[in-house]
Chains A and B, each alone.
Chain A
Amino acid sequence: EADIYQTPRYLVIGTGKKITLECSQTMGHDKMYWYQQDPGMELHLIHYSYGVNSTEKGDLSSESTVSRIRTEHFPLTLESARPSHTSQYLCASSSRSPGQASYEQYFGPGTRLTVT
């Protein structure tokens, strides 16, 4: 079934650790995105990719990095986690279907990260 998967769903980790948040999609979409969202707050775009080997920083500055080596995979890495990185991270993908005038973004379930 076409879907977007994020792992882990929850992560509690100590300061200074390196972490990678996984995002994979079987939607066949070329565009993928990472958003950061604090509880009940707005979503901020931190990274996006229009295709393999294409990555761009989003509107909100982030210390994380991303890579896009395969179309379906868009992992996010924090080299040294800090308490300020505590947040929910949402992965999304999109593609314009034939006959559609606009893109629709499909979201994964999110990863809730807590850095102690």
Chain B
Amino acid sequence: AQRVTQPEKLLSVFKGAPVELKCNYSYSGSPELFWYVQYSRQRLQLLLRHISRESIKGFTADLNKGETSFHLKKPFAQEEDSAMYYCALSGLTGNKLTFGGGTRVLVKP
């Protein structure tokens, strides 16, 4: 069975400080990992995926297969980063997503 764990329900940081959201997963094969974000009163949307190795809005995430982690990082948080962030995993078929419990990020001025 596949599982995604986000240990922090809430992260509160000051503007300009680094922020790291933790994500750990369990999956027997080679998963695809994603970060989704939901801003206030907006839809859930894809932020980034590990396979693209991209940086979106200053965020990066590295897949660490040894530690089964996919932590999301940003060196300098901005107030507009305040949102709900979900880590998600899909298996070989690439269809169904398993989501973590989400982490609410609050960036204070």
- Chain A residues near B (Cβ < 8 Å): 31, 33, 35, 40-45, 48, 50, 58-59, 90, 94, 96, 101-110
The answer to whether A102 and B43 have CB atoms under 8 Å apart is no
- On whether the beta carbons of A31 and B95 are closer than 8 Å, the reply is yes
Kindly identify which residue among A44, A50, A58, A103 contacts B90, using a CB–CB cutoff of 8 Å: A103
Q: Which one, B49, B97, B102, contacts A41 given CB within 8 A?
A: B102
Q: Which of B46, B95, B100 contacts A48 (CB 8 A)?
A: B95
Q: A42-B99, A45-B96, A48-B96 are in contact. Are A110 and B51 (CB under 8 A)?
A: no
Q: Is the CB of B98 within 8 A of A59?
A: yes
> Is residue B11 contacting chain A, with contact meaning CB distance below 8 A?
no
What is the interface of chain B, defined by CB distance below 8 A to chain A? 9, 32, 34, 43-46, 49, 51, 84, 86, 90, 94-102, 104
Write the chain B residue with the least CB distance to A6: B43
Contact B49–A104 (Cβ < 8 Å): yes
CA of A90 to CA of B43, assembled, Å? 9
- Contact A41-B101, Cβ < 8 Å, known A102-B49, A104-B46: yes
Q: Are B43 and A107 in contact (CB under 8 A)?
A: yes
A43 to B36, CA, bound (A): 11
